[in-house]
A and B are shown apart, each in its own frame.
Chain A
């Protein structure tokens, strides 16, 4: 069974339809990359999956459980949405780290708050916090940030910030980790370090959706690629296929712009 199924997602802002009939499935352990020109609806799609936008139509299922159904208001209560979000993680283009917390604190904040909601939290508070801290350190190590844990975001480079943001998202063990152009806000010489950690995550079979303009990366890392244009999925398939032998005219045009550039 697919870990993620999105069916017939529609989203309009005012009169413009930004997502039109998006169908999407993702298998556990796979990486999906989404490419497409600016304004094609890629960010909106990720935001819908993370419940930052509410689709006008469609269904979102994770592990067979219907998390969202536009036709069923009982799936849309504010309180239940908060828990459902935890199936997904989202790494933003602009990091959105919390400036008043150190790298380590950024990673630990949400796990601590969630732990405090558990019934027998009070009794085991010390051990729980210790476990959360150990895990956060482990994640930051994995991101190559062992010497940066006590730094505040403004003391870190963009690439380091983005790696903290990745660790922060991973700390909640999402079923599906989404990246929205994770390197677009970075200086070119810093993209490599971020792409490297995403590649490592892919090697460990992390289930991911990666929106990116790094075509070579999308092709190498992804098990499946989707090309979007004007709110529709124009073409999808095996990365080899889509990049080497695109069937659709719009895909060809889009890719040729990148080959020249």
Chain B
């Protein structure tokens, strides 16, 4: 116990650095996957059959295979198979590869949520707007959008919470996020070696961050509770 207390300051500062990389991956994924998911959703709902079929196939493949494998393929495939290491070396390259894999994977999940939200608004809402002389854009922004958001927020919250934990998968390509930072004290780092507790301690970071997110997302959900 005394030893842990002595190691604490060094470990915390290393974990903080790792956690910043975790957060970066988290926010970059959201920033990319929110719009890309919408584009994929429109693709899969397209009346142009070839487009909707291809989009649905891609979504099916991405949702049906482990994110970890997608990470490995996206990171290693260009360099090892195509002899064209597009990601470059080092931490930047790993981050780019991880972001790409995460954005693509999460966009596919988000697209299904968007699709559900868009299709959950009854056709009668649009027709009522039309009959009242509203433009399509007015119907979308003034009538449908908020109803969609209300349907989307709860499933989206679940995905967002899952994403926080999923970022740890990027450890597989040695991205220096918090798991990597915690693990480094096993092999030896900052003069500490053979310590397993830092790795366990990373859980606290996830827990606190997810606690904050749950609170914020719950508040948003409550805000939209005023109508049905």
**Known contacts A99-B228, A152-B226, A154-B228; is-contact A110 B127 (Cβ 8 Å):** no
B212 interfacial contact with A, CB 8 Å: no
A113 interfacial contact with B, CB 8 Å: yes
| Selected contact of B132 from candidates A94, A99, A100, A109, CB within 8 Å | A109
The docked-state distance in angstroms from the alpha carbon of A169 to that of B128 is 9
| Selected contact of A50 from candidates B131, B147, B226, CB within 8 Å | B131
Interface size of A in residues (CB-CB distance below 8 Å): 27
Q: What chain A residues lie within 8 Å of B228 (beta carbons)?
A: 99, 152-154
Q: Among the interface residues A100, A153, A169, which one has the most CB atoms of the partner chain B within 10 A?
A: A100
Contact stretch, chosen from A60-68, A80-88, A122-130, A133-141: A80-88
Q: What chain B residues lie within 8 Å of A153 (beta carbons)?
A: 227-228
Q: What chain B residues lie within 8 Å of A50 (beta carbons)?
A: 131
The docked-state distance in angstroms from the alpha carbon of A28 to that of B158 is 57
A216 interfacial contact with B, CB 8 Å: no
Interface size of B in residues (CB-CB distance below 8 Å): 21
A90 interfacial contact with B, CB 8 Å: yes
The chain B residue with its CB closest to the CB of A98 is: B143
- Would B142 and A113 count as touching, CB distance under 8 A? yes
The docked-state distance in angstroms from the alpha carbon of A67 to that of B70 is 57
Residues of A within 8 A of B (CB): 50-52, 82-83, 85-86, 88-90, 92, 94, 96-100, 109-110, 113-114, 152-154, 168-169, 172
Known: A100-B227, A154-B228, A172-B132. 6 other contacts (CB 8 A): A50-B131, A82-B133, A96-B125, A98-B128, A152-B227, A152-B228
Residues of B within 8 A of A (CB): 122, 124-125, 127-135, 138, 142-143, 146-147, 150, 226-228
